Amino acid sequence: MDVKSSQASPVLADPTPVNKSRLGVHSSLLPSFSTSLSAVPRKKPGKLDDVRSNGWLDAMISSSPPRKKAVKDFNSLSDEADIPYLSWMIRYPSALNSFQLIMDVARNRKLVIFLDYDGTLSPIVDDPDQAFMSGEMRLAVKSVASHFPTAIISGRSRDKVYELVGLTELYYAGSHGMDIMFPAKNTVCRDELNCVKGTDMEGKEANLFQPASEFLPMINEVYNSLVEITKDIKGSKVENHKFCVSVHYRNVDENSWAVIAQFVHDILKEHPRLRLTHGRKVLEVRPVIEWDKGKAVEFLLKSLGFSNHRDVLPIYIGDDRTDEDAFKVLRKAYRGYGILVSAAPKESNAFFSLKDPSEVQYFLESLVKKVQQDDE
């Protein structure tokens, strides 16, 4: 397969309105006004109609396929339910089955690896604090980083993702790429207004690129407000990722989703310089700036000295809607390959797919094996 071959994929807007009939969710199944309010006695949000009419609820319902169903579907390939997945894989072939094709394109080019964290290196779990990667995965990532420049680009804060990954040989970008650490010797920072000097995890001098630094006080204020107004919603969890805030509703009763959405909606109304993105059972509040994981990929390629398209083949592996920005950048400029991690059919700007983190691990191990064979 040629890297320039085109594959028609719709562009995902954010948030993506999802047709109710396609989801099979009738409006009567959506939470009622009175039921929702009864679950939250302490403070009334604004009009719940807001979040219904603007498609938030639909996007929340469709933000993540039911995990048990997705696993069942994959493990029973004879099921009729697998037919959509198998036909989807024709459009997004397995990166494992296409491994040789990818290696053929990578010949004489330097591979640069970009990895999302949650749902890519770690399983999606009910408690985001428990999203640990396995020891085997850590070893696979470490081995890949010893052969190829490797960066983690996560929605979490940079400190938190480093704490979870614990490898000093990687580059880290937190807050959806709004907090990037890269080597101090680099010269890109001279041209960039938002660069500051910092120290890396080992205390060595490093550069920090933080395009949303002016939003820091606002994000803290919004975090505190969201913690306060959601504290009586059982199962909700608000996380401060430094330059963005996540409101998790995975463990919240579906009858309270409208309330949680309305609280976030009301906060955004008060802060027009912030916007919403939908993740997997999580609402994310972030600054309205022209910056995302795609821009972070471009910035890292430039700052690490890999701007020349012909010499470099970037590969980005991720599972979330925010990773689509990175897939788009790689697809648009015919620069490299996006690999979507998904056990269920999903529209994407990626070229290839992997089913789950265990396949990601196998793919990374295969990269290492290939380079070791070539060295022999």
Residue 211 touching Mg ion (CB under 5 A): no
Q: Six-digit token pair at 234? A: 């059982």
- Residue 106 or 360: the one with the smaller Cβ distance to Mg ion is 360
Residues 269 and 257: their CA atoms lie apart, in Å, by 18
Phi, psi of 274 (to 5 degrees): -115, 155
**Strands, E assignment, 171-224:** 171-174, 179-183, 195-199, 205-209
Residue 268's Cβ-count burial label (10 Å; 0-12, 13-18, 19+) is middle
Phi, psi of 117 (to 5 degrees): -105, -70
Query: Which residue in 48, 64, 106, 116 binds Mg ion (CB under 5 A)?
Result: 116
Query: Which residue in 58, 118, 292, 324 binds Mg ion (CB under 5 A)?
Result: 118
With a CB cutoff of 8 Å and minimum separation 6, the contacts of 156 are 117, 118, 164, 174, 175, 239, 241
**Residue 373's CB: how many other CB atoms inside 10 A?**
8
Q: Six-digit token pair at 344? A: 């269920």
Query: Which residue in 284, 292, 320, 356 binds Mg ion (CB under 5 A)?
Result: 320
Residue 118's Cβ-count burial label (10 Å; 0-12, 13-18, 19+) is buried
Q: Give the per-residue contact string, 258-277, with Mg ion (x = CB under 5 A; - = no).
A: --------------------
CB of 234 to Mg ion, least distance (A): 25
- Residue 262 or 322: the one with the smaller Cβ distance to Mg ion is 322
Residue 324 touching Mg ion (CB under 5 A): no
Residues 277 and 257: their CA atoms lie apart, in Å, by 16
- Residue 58 or 320: the one with the smaller Cβ distance to Mg ion is 320
Strand (E) or helix (H) holding 354: strand 352-354
Interacting span for Mg ion (CB under 5 A) from 39-47, 59-67, 113-121, 332-340: 113-121
CB of 323 to Mg ion, least distance (A): 7
- Residue 265 or 295: the one with the smaller Cβ distance to Mg ion is 295
Residue 89's Cβ-count burial label (10 Å; 0-12, 13-18, 19+) is middle
Single-letter residue type at 51: V
Query: Which residue in 15, 31, 119, 149 binds Mg ion (CB under 5 A)?
Result: 119
Residue 319 touching Mg ion (CB under 5 A): yes
- Residue 73 or 284: the one with the smaller Cβ distance to Mg ion is 284
CB of 320 to Mg ion, least distance (A): 4
- Residue 128 or 235: the one with the smaller Cβ distance to Mg ion is 128
- Residue 127 or 205: the one with the smaller Cβ distance to Mg ion is 127
Interacting span for Mg ion (CB under 5 A) from 110-118, 169-177, 193-201, 208-216: 110-118
CB of 119 to Mg ion, least distance (A): 4
Q: Give the per-residue contact string, 279-318, with Mg ion (x = CB under 5 A; - = no).
A: ----------------------------------------
Say if residues 260 and 283 touch (Cβ distance below 8 Å): yes
- Residue 233 or 326: the one with the smaller Cβ distance to Mg ion is 326
Chain contacts with Mg ion (rule: CB under 5 A): 116, 118-119, 319-320
